[in-house]
Amino acid sequence: MLGGIPYVLEGTFKNLIDSTFESMSDFTITEATLLAVLEAETLSILFWRGMTHWLGGLGIVVLFVAVAPTVGAGAARMLGAQFSGLTHPRLTPRITDTAKVLTVIYLTLSVATTLALLLAEMSLYSAIHNY
């Protein structure tokens, strides 16, 4: 519900139900939206949507790393399908350490992409959102 507050404050939605739906769709990266024309929204709302999508992407990666060991054999088979050979390497022995490593990788790739887009003469705002 907190993620929906900027939509109400900005006047994008009149009620918290619609703004909460929009926020949840942003954080879960489902791309379901109640907004008819995204380009008509203010830059602050577009910035908020971009940041919630970014946080949602990071959250999905960390959630999979944290939940996969508790799911059991199904997750192990799914992970094993991504690697060739009989065994797959683990990034680190502890889940929290793996989540930290993946967060650093995600941040590094995000910064590298933004810098590359800035070098290609894209505006800072657009480079941050990777348009």
Domain ranges of the chain: 2-129
CA dist 53 and 28 (Å) reads 8
Q: State if pTM tops 0.85.
A: no
34-74 pLDDT, tens digit each: 988 888 889 899 899 888 988 888 887 777 776 666 665 55
88 SS3 class: coil
Q: What is the mean pLDDT of residues 83-99?
A: 61
CA dist 9 and 29 (Å) reads 22
In this structure, are residues 27 and 60 in contact, taking their beta carbons and an 8 Å threshold?
Answer: no
* Banded model confidence at residue 115, pLDDT cuts 50, 70, 90: very high
**pLDDT over 90 at 6, yes or no:** yes
What type of residue sits at position 33?
T
